[in-house]
Structure 1
Amino acid sequence: MTKADIVNEITKNTGIDKVTVLATVEAFMDTVKASLSKDENVYLRGFGSFVVKKRAQKTARNISKNTTIIIPEHNIPAFKPAKTFTISVKK
Protein backbone atom coordinates (compact mmCIF):
# COMPACT_ATOMS: atom_id res chain seq x y z
CA MET A 1 0.00 0.00 0.00
CA THR A 2 1.39 3.39 -0.98
CA LYS A 3 0.84 6.82 0.52
CA ALA A 4 -1.62 7.58 -2.29
CA ASP A 5 -3.55 4.40 -1.45
CA ILE A 6 -3.71 5.42 2.20
CA VAL A 7 -4.98 8.89 1.26
CA ASN A 8 -7.63 7.38 -1.04
CA GLU A 9 -8.77 4.93 1.64
CA ILE A 10 -9.08 7.65 4.30
CA THR A 11 -10.93 9.89 1.84
CA LYS A 12 -13.36 7.09 1.00
CA ASN A 13 -13.99 6.20 4.66
CA THR A 14 -14.33 9.71 6.07
CA GLY A 15 -15.61 11.84 3.20
CA ILE A 16 -12.83 14.41 3.74
CA ASP A 17 -11.32 15.77 0.52
CA LYS A 18 -8.01 14.36 -0.73
CA VAL A 19 -6.05 17.59 -0.37
CA THR A 20 -6.83 17.83 3.34
CA VAL A 21 -6.10 14.16 3.97
CA LEU A 22 -2.81 14.35 2.07
CA ALA A 23 -1.77 17.43 4.07
CA THR A 24 -2.65 15.63 7.31
CA VAL A 25 -0.72 12.47 6.38
CA GLU A 26 2.31 14.56 5.32
CA ALA A 27 2.15 16.56 8.57
CA PHE A 28 2.00 13.31 10.59
CA MET A 29 5.05 11.88 8.83
CA ASP A 30 6.98 15.15 9.22
CA THR A 31 6.14 15.24 12.94
CA VAL A 32 7.32 11.66 13.46
CA LYS A 33 10.56 12.34 11.54
CA ALA A 34 11.21 15.54 13.49
CA SER A 35 10.60 13.82 16.82
CA LEU A 36 12.90 10.90 15.99
CA SER A 37 15.62 13.26 14.75
CA LYS A 38 15.47 14.99 18.17
CA ASP A 39 15.90 11.56 19.82
CA GLU A 40 12.27 11.52 21.04
CA ASN A 41 10.18 8.37 20.67
CA VAL A 42 6.60 8.49 19.34
CA TYR A 43 4.02 6.27 21.07
CA LEU A 44 0.64 5.52 19.46
CA ARG A 45 -1.47 3.47 21.84
CA GLY A 46 -2.99 0.42 20.12
CA PHE A 47 -0.79 0.88 17.03
CA GLY A 48 2.87 0.89 18.02
CA SER A 49 5.92 2.96 18.78
CA PHE A 50 8.41 4.71 16.55
CA VAL A 51 11.66 4.54 18.49
CA VAL A 52 15.31 5.49 18.05
CA LYS A 53 17.69 2.57 18.48
CA LYS A 54 21.37 3.10 19.18
CA ARG A 55 23.81 0.90 17.30
CA ALA A 56 27.15 0.38 19.03
CA GLN A 57 30.49 0.92 17.31
CA LYS A 58 31.71 -2.18 15.51
CA THR A 59 34.51 -3.42 13.32
CA ALA A 60 33.67 -4.58 9.81
CA ARG A 61 35.67 -5.90 6.87
CA ASN A 62 35.96 -4.58 3.36
CA ILE A 63 36.33 -7.86 1.51
CA SER A 64 37.42 -6.39 -1.83
CA LYS A 65 40.35 -4.46 -0.29
CA ASN A 66 40.94 -6.96 2.53
CA THR A 67 40.94 -4.21 5.16
CA THR A 68 39.05 -3.59 8.36
CA ILE A 69 36.98 -0.49 8.96
CA ILE A 70 35.35 0.87 12.09
CA ILE A 71 31.67 1.74 11.85
CA PRO A 72 30.96 4.43 14.45
CA GLU A 73 28.09 4.39 16.92
CA HIS A 74 24.90 5.66 15.27
CA ASN A 75 21.12 5.88 15.69
CA ILE A 76 18.51 4.23 13.49
CA PRO A 77 14.72 4.61 13.42
CA ALA A 78 12.63 1.53 14.22
CA PHE A 79 8.97 0.60 14.62
CA LYS A 80 7.72 -1.68 17.36
CA PRO A 81 4.08 -2.74 16.84
CA ALA A 82 1.66 -2.82 19.77
CA LYS A 83 0.52 -6.20 21.05
CA THR A 84 -3.03 -5.69 19.72
CA PHE A 85 -1.58 -4.71 16.32
CA THR A 86 0.51 -7.89 16.21
CA ILE A 87 -2.42 -10.08 17.19
CA SER A 88 -4.67 -8.58 14.48
CA VAL A 89 -2.04 -9.17 11.80
CA LYS A 90 -1.49 -12.81 12.84
CA LYS A 91 -5.15 -13.71 12.24
Structure 2
Amino acid sequence: MNKAALVSQMAAHSELTKKDTQAALNSMLNAIEKSLSEGDQVQINGFGTFALSYYPARKGRNPQTGEEIEIEGANKPVFKPAKALKDIL
Protein backbone atom coordinates (compact mmCIF):
# COMPACT_ATOMS: atom_id res chain seq x y z
CA MET A 1 0.00 0.00 0.00
CA ASN A 2 1.36 3.41 -0.91
CA LYS A 3 0.46 6.82 0.50
CA ALA A 4 -2.28 7.49 -2.07
CA ALA A 5 -3.99 4.17 -1.31
CA LEU A 6 -3.75 4.90 2.42
CA VAL A 7 -5.38 8.30 1.93
CA SER A 8 -8.18 6.68 -0.11
CA GLN A 9 -8.87 4.07 2.58
CA MET A 10 -8.75 6.65 5.36
CA ALA A 11 -11.22 8.86 3.47
CA ALA A 12 -13.54 5.90 2.87
CA HIS A 13 -13.61 5.12 6.61
CA SER A 14 -14.17 8.69 7.71
CA GLU A 15 -16.38 11.60 6.80
CA LEU A 16 -13.45 13.58 5.40
CA THR A 17 -12.64 14.36 1.78
CA LYS A 18 -9.46 12.93 0.27
CA LYS A 19 -7.94 16.42 0.35
CA ASP A 20 -8.70 16.82 4.07
CA THR A 21 -7.52 13.27 4.77
CA GLN A 22 -4.24 13.88 2.98
CA ALA A 23 -3.73 17.11 4.95
CA ALA A 24 -4.39 15.25 8.22
CA LEU A 25 -1.98 12.44 7.28
CA ASN A 26 0.74 14.90 6.24
CA SER A 27 0.26 16.81 9.49
CA MET A 28 0.62 13.62 11.54
CA LEU A 29 3.74 12.54 9.64
CA ASN A 30 5.30 16.00 10.05
CA ALA A 31 4.61 15.92 13.80
CA ILE A 32 6.27 12.48 14.08
CA GLU A 33 9.29 13.68 12.06
CA LYS A 34 9.64 16.80 14.22
CA SER A 35 9.47 14.83 17.48
CA LEU A 36 12.04 12.31 16.27
CA SER A 37 14.39 15.04 15.05
CA GLU A 38 14.23 16.58 18.55
CA GLY A 39 15.15 13.22 20.08
CA ASP A 40 11.70 12.42 21.47
CA GLN A 41 9.78 9.25 20.86
CA VAL A 42 6.17 9.08 19.66
CA GLN A 43 3.92 6.53 21.32
CA ILE A 44 0.50 5.77 19.84
CA ASN A 45 -1.45 3.53 22.21
CA GLY A 46 -2.64 0.34 20.55
CA PHE A 47 -0.43 0.92 17.50
CA GLY A 48 3.21 1.28 18.51
CA THR A 49 6.16 3.52 19.25
CA PHE A 50 8.38 5.47 16.88
CA ALA A 51 11.83 6.17 18.33
CA LEU A 52 15.46 6.76 17.41
CA SER A 53 18.11 4.12 17.84
CA TYR A 54 21.81 4.95 17.70
CA TYR A 55 23.96 2.68 15.58
CA PRO A 56 27.64 3.15 16.51
CA ALA A 57 30.49 3.71 14.04
CA ARG A 58 31.91 0.57 12.45
CA LYS A 59 34.46 -0.56 9.92
CA GLY A 60 33.36 -1.44 6.41
CA ARG A 61 34.96 -2.22 3.10
CA ASN A 62 34.75 -0.46 -0.24
CA PRO A 63 33.51 -3.22 -2.58
CA GLN A 64 35.29 -1.76 -5.63
CA THR A 65 38.75 -1.33 -4.13
CA GLY A 66 38.64 -3.57 -1.07
CA GLU A 67 39.89 -0.63 0.98
CA GLU A 68 38.78 -0.57 4.62
CA ILE A 69 36.68 2.48 5.50
CA GLU A 70 35.08 3.89 8.64
CA ILE A 71 31.27 4.08 8.55
CA GLU A 72 29.98 6.87 10.78
CA GLY A 73 27.56 6.19 13.60
CA ALA A 74 24.00 7.37 13.01
CA ASN A 75 20.60 7.74 14.60
CA LYS A 76 18.03 5.67 12.72
CA PRO A 77 14.27 5.64 13.17
CA VAL A 78 12.76 2.42 14.50
CA PHE A 79 9.18 1.31 15.03
CA LYS A 80 8.13 -1.07 17.78
CA PRO A 81 4.57 -2.35 17.34
CA ALA A 82 2.24 -2.44 20.34
CA LYS A 83 0.98 -5.76 21.67
CA ALA A 84 -2.52 -5.02 20.35
CA LEU A 85 -1.14 -4.60 16.81
CA LYS A 86 0.96 -7.77 17.11
CA ASP A 87 -2.11 -9.73 18.25
CA ILE A 88 -4.10 -8.58 15.20
CA LEU A 89 -1.33 -9.64 12.85
TM-score band by shorter chain is over 0.9
Count of paired positions: 89
Cα deviation 1:50-90 (Å, max 9, x = unaligned): 1101001111111321211111211001111111101111x
Q: Which moved more, 1:63-72 or 1:77-86?
A: 63-72
Name stretches of at least 5 consecutive residues in structure 2 with no aligned partner.
none
Cα deviation 1:9-52 (Å, max 9, x = unaligned): 12111121111111000000111111111111110011001110
Q: Does 1:53 align with 2:18?
A: no
Q: Does 1:26 align with 2:22?
A: no
Q: Does 1:68 align with 2:72?
A: no
Q: Distance in 2 between matches of 1:64 and 1:12?
A: 50
Q: Percent identity?
A: 28
Q: Does 1:82 align with 2:73?
A: no
Name stretches of at least 5 consecutive residues in structure 1 with no aligned partner.
none
Cα RMSD for the two superposed structures: 1.0
